[in-house]
A and B are shown apart, each in its own frame.
Chain A
């Protein structure tokens, strides 16, 4: 029993080594790209910071240090002894704890926004592209109409009218993020649709729904992965934009945009760390996502082979 199972597993690993799949090839190309690997390492570190930051922080996000209150420029300097690794703001709140919290929320918004885009956009685009004809015309015209709307203004309108909550932020960003994805997926589906294996599936009587889920969507994964990675920073940018205007997540919760806003407001009082630390995490994370996205595109794009 045990022997045979190891036989099977060794046999499977052997075939994996022999037949280089598309994904194995792509992985190899990806890891040869230093910028992309660097970006990935940065992203992992930022992720670890968001996950384990709360254990390292010596203060809660809304805890007030009364020695620093009103005198952050002198008493709230970043230092190891006071426990404020990144300093405090003028209310005596710990910037390290707040940066950790902001990182968590910004990453969450980015991932959820991209996730919704992947789910909705992929299915929508695949259906429109595969079914074609009038259905395609109507579905894509709807996307055109929605794309022509200045979405940031509508998003702020939604947030103001329905209350500024995290859920509303997710809903609003999710509603708008899938448009580009559906266009890209549709284009890719159109080129897949007339290939022989789809024709074969159709000839053997597979249903349309099954062709889309079993044959079209798996073949779209490469494009979707690339675009989803590039979408995460765009979602983070959108959320930060709204939070910068003071219309995003509400206190005591915070995000990078809100922290940058606070830091920008107080920089003339000599508390530069309030701007510097959140900005640093913001910039390296965006760089990371863009580099990883570009690396994935180079690795998965059949054009460059």
Chain B
């Protein structure tokens, strides 16, 4: 098991370094620096500013410094736009918020998706099955940026039940719509995967044996069918995590919840490269870490995988 984890890490760490170096090089290859403004600054002022941010150093030294700062101290440097704030402060501000509603959405989506999918698989070709399939097809064409306006239209403008945005320390009224918007399409995918793998498992030999032995259906499904049916779902959790963290940008943007997605969009609009890179690298690191956990979990659950 340790060798397996070590092997995975030998892929994961270079990936992260490639991401850091690549985004850094891109930033420098881009036409126009972060301080290029409509009214050109006097060259002396520009030189001073560039010296402050270390932009006058040769490229390889800048990359080296950045890499060392990021990897040893988790220091992403100062923001290019907000003179008195560092990227770390901006991320530290937004990240707990993203984590709160993202985590809740994740749990909701996995629980609801698995339940819906398993029920649809067990009761194939009944109204429950059609409902589940209908929901999952519908949710495919209603991504988070379509769900969000529709939810606000219904619950805020027509019914007036929920506030249309904001965070207020994460009170439940402010959480409901972000969680629904973020988890729906993800829940639908999980339901679809669970349903088809449930159908496959229910037709397999060991279930037939269990049935022939005369075990009650309840026990067959809970004890024998559910576990192998969950395997494809687990392998889907990695990509799903990426989708969710990407979706959090829309949620932050539309509901004004103040997570890191909002910092990212604002940074993109202001050309604040330092913040964009910080968020991108953080998200990349989280993705890689999460994929690693999923891989380990998978290898641990599925006895067929040798490592």
Contacts and interface: CB of A to CB of B under 8 A. Distances in A.
Interface of A: 141, 144-145, 148-150, 152-154, 156-163, 233, 237, 240-241, 244-247, 257, 260-261, 263-264, 267-268, 272, 275, 279, 282-283, 286-287, 290
Contacts of B29: 161
A278 to B, nearest CB: 10
B131 interface: no
Given A244-B250, A246-B269, A268-B157, A150 B146 contact: no
Given A148-B15, A157-B276, A247 B268 contact: yes
What are the 7 A-B residue pairs with the smallest beta carbon separation, nearest first?
Answer: A161-B30, A264-B149, A286-B141, A244-B145, A153-B280, A152-B246, A150-B283
15 contacts: A144-B11, A149-B284, A150-B245, A152-B246, A153-B264, A153-B283, A157-B280, A159-B268, A160-B271, A244-B250, A247-B265, A264-B152, A268-B164, A286-B140, A287-B141
A145 B16 CA distance: 9
A145 B11 contact: yes
B153 A162 contact: no
Q: B interface, how many residues as a size bin? A: 35 or more
B220 interface: no
A195 to B, nearest CB: 26
B149 A158 contact: no
B137 A290 contact: yes
A173 to B, nearest CB: 14
B148 interface: yes
Contact of B23 (A154, A241, A272): A154
B26 interface: yes
A269 to B, nearest CB: 10
A86 B150 CA distance: 19
Interface string B251-274: 001100000000011001101010
B288 A148 contact: yes
Given A150-B287, A156-B264, A156-B268, 16 more contacts: A148-B287, A148-B291, A149-B19, A150-B283, A152-B246, A153-B276, A160-B271, A240-B143, A241-B143, A257-B145, A264-B254, A268-B157, A275-B149, A283-B142, A283-B146, A290-B141
A150 B149 contact: no
A161 B141 contact: no
B148 A264 contact: yes
A260 B141 CA distance: 14
B18 A150 contact: no
Contacts of A282: 141, 146
B279 interface: yes
B184 to A, nearest CB: 14
Contact of A245 (B23, B149, B253, B291): B253
Nearest to B267: A160
B249 interface: yes
Given A260-B146, A275-B149, A283-B141, A160 B268 contact: yes
B55 to A, nearest CB: 15
A245 B146 contact: no
Nearest to A243: B145
B27 interface: yes
A157 B265 CA distance: 10
Contacts of B152: 264, 267
Contacts of B31: 162-163
B135 interface: no
A111 to B, nearest CB: 18
Most chain A beta carbons < 10 A, residue from B141, B152, B276: B141
